[in-house]
Amino acid sequence: MPRKKILFIIGSPNQTTQMYQIYQHLQDEFDCYFTQFFPGDWIMWFTKASRMAEHTILSGLFKQKGEQFVKDHGLQYDYAGRQLGNKYDLVFMCTDASFPKVARRTKSIWVQEGMVDPLDAWGKWVKRLGLPSYMAFRTSLNGCMNFSDIYCAASEGYKSYFSGMGTEAERIVVTGMPNFDNAAQYLDNDFPHKDYVLVCTSDIRETYKKENRIGFIRHCVSIAAGRPLVFKLHPNEVWDRAYYEIINNTPAGTLVFQNENTNHMIANCQELVTQYSTVVYIGMALGKKVHSYFDYDLLQRLMPVQNGGTSARTIAEIARGYIHFNGSGSQYLQQFRKQNELAEKR
């Protein structure tokens, strides 16, 4: 019998590496393919064709990096799931900003890849009017659209958030979040600097939102209070602009990076300053003092579970069972939970 086919939709480097971890647990049993995130409707196709999506996972640098990752790792590529004529049995989604036809035609699993942006007034209107969630122009509605059969959440806190925003609780399972479920592993690293205040910036301007970057930089200088400062730019940021802003508004000796391992940099810092970045959870898990645009108590409630790096394996286990299951995602999860309860009693 031919092996069942799985399509992994990838996006940012974080989304891509998470999907790859899941794939590693399934590659021996299934015929697996990858695609960069692609337009799910004519509005998104027009946006991409007009080059207005160059700083999103639809196009530009993110698409180049995703496709290069696939090539470097010798993976099978099927853009938008329709170049090769494959019929897929399961689709992994890194976002539910849209629900493309290839996912509607088969079973689907959504995997949380990071924190979600705060819900602003415009996002509430998008949700209320039933508009596509990408029209919120941020990730505030990611995981909240109730599209996928199964939703894999980072924590009980996020499960409550997604269900409160409209995704059926029966479809949500807490698996932990690959890349953020084993912070302790990053303590063993070769990043050469130590004992600094680390600032992890966000791509606020690149995603067409307002930011007072100079004011933020000066705030970071005050937090450092004379201690060494290190900035780690978001991969999507425009380097030249961000670099010169930092160098011109910080003490001599401030270091600026963009491509180094963020988790290793967090492990070696004294204090962590973030904006809207999921990496704040790595700092919290490692016991660092952290700063964020999010309320700290909220972050504690949403904190991804630390399970020693088993999230990808758990998600793969769910996919392995669901792909053969005759029923809905919520029905499968009910069975999955009962099996786990029995296993724990043994």
Same domain for 246 and 196: yes
Structure confidence by residue, pLDDT tens digits, 279-327: 999 999 999 999 999 999 999 999 999 999 999 999 999 999 999 999 9
Query: H helices within the chain, ranges in order?
Result: 13-24, 42-49, 60-72, 101-104, 121-128, 156-164, 213-224, 239-247, 262-267, 280-285, 296-302, 311-322, 329-345
Structure confidence by residue, pLDDT tens digits, 39-93: 988 899 999 999 888 888 999 999 999 999 999 999 999 999 999 999 999 999 9
Is the distance from CB of 148 to CB of 110 less than 8 angstroms?
yes
Residue 24 domain boundaries: 5-180+306-345
Domain total in the chain: 2
Q: For the residues 153-162, what does the mean pLDDT come to? A: 97
Same domain for 275 and 247: yes
pLDDT confidence of residue 130: 87
pLDDT exceeds cutoff 90 at 345: no
Return phi, psi of residue 263, to 5°: -65, -40
Same domain for 135 and 269: no
Same domain for 311 and 259: no
**277: Cβ–Cβ under 8 A, 6 or more apart, which residues?**
115, 200, 201, 202, 234, 292
Same domain for 98 and 26: yes
Same domain for 244 and 175: no
Same domain for 324 and 285: no
pLDDT confidence of residue 201: 97
Distance of alpha carbon 195 from alpha carbon 263, whole angstroms: 14
For residue 147, the domain's CATH number is 3.40.50
Same domain for 269 and 250: yes
For residue 250, the domain's CATH number is 3.40.50.2000
**Confidence band for 192, pLDDT divided at 50, 70 and 90:** very high
β-pair partners for 325: none
- Start-to-end C-alpha separation, the chain: 35
Please report where in the chains the tokens 């307002």 appear, as a residue. Answer: 210
DSSP codes of every residue in 11-41: -SHHHHHHHHHHHHTTTTTSEEEEEE----S
Q: For the residues 171-175, what does the mean pLDDT come to? A: 97
Structure tokens at 135: 């029209």
